[in-house]
A and B are shown apart, each in its own frame.
Chain A
Amino acid sequence: MVGQTLEAATWAVLSAIPDPEIPVISLVDLGVIRHVRTAGNSVEIGVSPTYSGCPATEVIRKDIKAALLGAGINAFTLVDVLSPAWTSDWITERGAEALRHYGIAPPVRGGVNAGGADARAVCPRCASADTERISEFGSTPCKSLHRCKTCREPFEQFKCI
Chain B
Amino acid sequence: MNAAPRSGAAVHDAVRFEYVLRLADTSLILGQRLGEWVGHAPALEEDLGFGNLALDFIGQARLLLSYAGEIEGRGRTEDDLAFLRDGADFRNLTLVEQPNGDFGHTIVRQYFVDLYQTLLFDALSLCSDARLAAIAAKALKESQYHLRFSSNWLVRLGDGTAESHRRVQDAADRLMRFTPEIFDGDALEQSARTAGFAPDGAALQSGWESGVAATFREATLEVPKAQRGAPAGKRGDHSEHLGYILAEMQFMQRAYPGAAW
Q: Which residues of A contact B (CB under 8 A)?
A: 49, 51-55, 82-87, 111-112, 115-117, 134-139, 141, 145, 159, 161
Contacts and interface: CB of A to CB of B under 8 A. Distances in A.
A111 B52 CA distance: 19
Contacts of B145: 112, 115, 136, 159, 161
Interface stretch (B4-12, B132-140, B221-229): B132-140
Given A53-B55, A137-B149, A112 B141 contact: yes
Contact of B139 (A52, A86, A117, A136): A52
- Residue of A52, A84, A134, A161 most packed against chain B (CB within 10 A): A52
Nearest to A117: B148
15 contacts: A53-B58, A53-B60, A54-B55, A54-B59, A83-B133, A83-B134, A84-B137, A112-B141, A112-B144, A137-B45, A137-B48, A137-B49, A137-B149, A141-B52, A145-B48
Contact of A141 (B55, B63, B131, B144): B55
Interface of A is mostly: loop
A49 B144 CA distance: 18
Interface string B27-48: 0000000000000000001101
A83 B131 CA distance: 8
A82 B63 contact: yes
A137 B52 contact: yes
B59 A51 contact: yes
A141 B52 CA distance: 5
A49 B137 CA distance: 13
B200 interface: no
Please give me the 10 A-B residue pairs with the lowest Cβ-Cβ distance, nearest first. Answer: A53-B55, A52-B59, A53-B59, A83-B134, A135-B45, A82-B134, A53-B56, A85-B138, A137-B49, A161-B141
A56 to B, nearest CB: 11
B17 interface: no
